[in-house]
Amino acid sequence: MTQTAAPGPGPGTATGTDPAPRSFLGELKDGVTPRATLLVVGVLALQLLFIASYVGALHHPKLRDVPFGVVAPRAAAEQAVARLEGLPGEPLDPRTVADRAAAREQIMDREIDGALLIDPAGTTDTLLVASGGGRTLANALTTLVTALERSEGRTVRTVDVAPADLGDASGLTSFYLVVGWCVGGYLCASALAMSAGARPTNIRRGIIRLCALALFAIVGGLGGAVIAGPVLGALPGSVAALWGLGALVVFAVGAATLALQCVFGIAGIGVAVLLVVVAGNPSAGGALPPPLLPPFWAAIGPALPPGAGVWVARSIAYYESNDVTGPLLVLSAWAVAGAAITVVMAALKKKPAAG
């Protein structure tokens, strides 16, 4: 019996092995999903904020209300303070100081950033600065005071009471060290999230992540302190103190990142980058110490982990570990809040219903 073959597909008709070509719009919808679009828009926003933050903070350094001491006989000191208070733009916040020893002590306690010792019997005065707190600030004070003294027919001799170490020629080692610790903190937290989901599925896993982060912080803090100190000789100060600071910085940033991931999902990594990198790094007082930053960045810097970390690192290295209580409390608050939110959010995580 003869079978008649079925007619083949006509021209342009799709077969099982030759699907009809899809429209460009259809391919676009598959290639760039709404979720991917949101992520790309978020990345673009971070990019633009990064540029705006760094350029806005660093493009025009200008002295603003720098705590500054004046040492002189009473009448001369009051006159000098009044003159310095009246400078255009208010670059200095002057106050009288009893003597040279008191001025040096206040600089080492980080109460003032410099001091002018006026010699009423001569024409050469002495300027005390501390390049360990930021060479840019020390240079700016020297330039300003030298110009003022020259306008009055006087000269100035500069004395650096807390000089930056030879291995820290630019005065930026503390900043780069803290930035490295911060990067390690949020990358570790990000890796933990990517390996098993942004939100821990239960409280036990949340605690395990925090313990893993704490171990990473201890090792990372020690590694950074040893590299910057004994290995490269780039930063003086107690290795043990820098180790403790490094561990706290890494854990604070990492715990905050874990908490943000618990709240916002994978987008929490972007929020962490916004806080730590976009807002935190330019306001940390690295390239430009706080008195040279615009008001907004000078205000937020001390409240963010990079700024608090840089302040403590410089205090350990150059200021006999003075004035570190406030910044350490800031770092501790980030660490405790991040850990607490991570644990609470993990505890609230609902288990999927049984099928």
- Provide the 8-state DSSP code for 168: G
* b/e map 140-163, b = 16+ CB within 10 Å: bbbebbeebbeeeeeebebeebbb
Going along the chain from its start, the domains and CATH numbers come out as 66-163 (3.40.50), 167-348 (no CATH)
> What pTM does this model have?
0.87
Percentage above 70 pLDDT, the chain: 87
Residues in the chain: 355
Quote the pLDDT of residue 1.
Answer: 47
63 in Cβ contact with 291 (< 8 Å): yes
* b/e map 300-315, b = 16+ CB within 10 Å: bbbebbbbbbbbbbbb
In the beta sheet, which residues pair with residue 129?
Answer: 160
Distance between CA atoms of 320 and 58, rounded to whole angstroms? 29
56 in Cβ contact with 297 (< 8 Å): yes
Quote the pLDDT of residue 327.
Answer: 98
Q: Which amino acid type is present at position 223?
A: G
Cα dihedral 142→143→147→150 (10° resolution)? 50
Quote the pLDDT of residue 266.
Answer: 84
Quote the pLDDT of residue 253.
Answer: 98
The enclosing H or E element of 256 equals helix 239-264
Quote the pLDDT of residue 308.
Answer: 98
In the beta sheet, which residues pair with residue 160?
Answer: 129
244 in Cβ contact with 220 (< 8 Å): no
- Provide the 8-state DSSP code for 290: G
pLDDT in tens, 130-146: 999 999 999 999 999 99
CB atoms under 10 Å from CB of 206, counted, come to 24
> pLDDT per position in the chain (355 positions), as tens?
455 555 555 554 545 555 666 666 665 566 667 777 887 888 899 899 989 999 999 888 999 999 999 999 988 999 999 999 999 999 999 999 999 999 999 999 999 999 999 999 999 999 999 999 999 999 999 999 999 999 999 999 999 999 999 899 788 999 999 999 999 999 999 998 876 655 666 788 889 999 999 999 999 999 999 999 999 999 999 999 999 999 999 999 999 999 999 899 888 889 999 999 999 999 999 989 999 999 999 999 999 999 999 999 999 999 999 999 999 999 999 999 999 999 998 888 755 444 4
In the beta sheet, which residues pair with residue 68?
Answer: 94, 114
Quote the pLDDT of residue 20.
Answer: 60
Query: Rg for the chain (alpha carbons), in Å?
Result: 29
Distance between CA atoms of 74 and 71, rounded to whole angstroms? 9
**Largest interatomic CA distance in the chain:** 131
